[in-house]
Structure 1
């Protein structure tokens, strides 16, 4: 059921033109697609972030705010991911993973060199947070 809702949401966003076009040199794109203050949790918001990877694309190593809990679902393709010092995992369309507040994301990339990949990351985060990722060195 959740997979159907997320897929329908992604399709609706595409049809409404929420997802910007790729530029020729981009390998990944991050788009804030949803933001809403949680009325029953003072100071917290839910934010949806669509991450798109071209074939072979990746995101730089990064961390998230210390207030952020993240639940990510792969919408298309497969994504290679490593959180903190855990194992490098490959998640396929329909699979999900979560990240705890303050986690480091050392690997985040398309697992394919021939097909695109997309994931929807849903953040529960302090409402005032505007930078959802901060790069860090390897």
Structure 2
């Protein structure tokens, strides 16, 4: 074998190895906290505003919300497919909203489109001492 063949084979192997992890699973979501503030007239409670960006085909892993959290969700753009607890799977479009009671299991939360991004605003009221607003369901 000459050097050109060895280098070519190494480059091909590297290209396959770096491409496979991206193709092996769906893209996720990006959660950005934009606001977090203790509620002055409700001691022990904090209000948090988060933006959840879903790329085309993106999805959140199934997760559980904190025991004390009450969530209001509002679709800013695109379409979000959601299922909370044992409820129906629903598609919400820009301008639609819903709420999630404390300690909900959010088993489906994803972009309903494979070609367009989607964006969600989540407003969370929870106990100020909650360590995590969500934990993955295994």
Q: Structure 1 length normalisation: TM-score?
A: 0.79
Mapped pair 1:112 → 2:113: yes
Partner of 1:91: 92
Partner of 2:104: 103
Once the two structures are superposed, the pairs formed by residues 40-51 of structure 1 within 5 Å of their partners are 40-51=41-52
Partner of 1:68: 69
Q: Tell me the distance in 1 between the aligned counterparts of 2:124 and 2:131.
A: 12
Q: Considering only CA atoms, is the larger Rg found in Structure 1 or Structure 2?
A: 2
Partner of 1:59: 60
Q: Tell me the distance in 1 between the aligned counterparts of 2:65 and 2:104.
A: 6
* Cα deviations by residue, 1:18-70 (Å, 9 ceiling, x for unpaired): xxxxxxx6531011110011010010010001100000000000011110000
Partner of 1:122: 123
| Structure 1 SS opposite 2:33 | strand
Partner of 2:82: 81
Q: Tell me the distance in 2 between the aligned counterparts of 1:109 and 1:69.
A: 20
**4+ residue runs over 3 A deviation:** none
Structure 2 runs not aligned, ≥5 long: 1-21
| Structure 2 SS opposite 1:57 | coil
Q: Tell me the distance in 1 between the aligned counterparts of 2:64 and 2:50.
A: 15
**Aligned pair count?**
113
Partner of 2:5: none
Q: Structure 2 length normalisation: TM-score?
A: 0.79
Q: Tell me the distance in 2 between the aligned counterparts of 1:127 and 1:110.
A: 30
Q: Tell me the distance in 2 between the aligned counterparts of 1:73 and 1:80.
A: 12
Alpha-carbon contact 1:27-1:55 (below 8 Å) kept: no
Structure number with higher helix proportion: 2
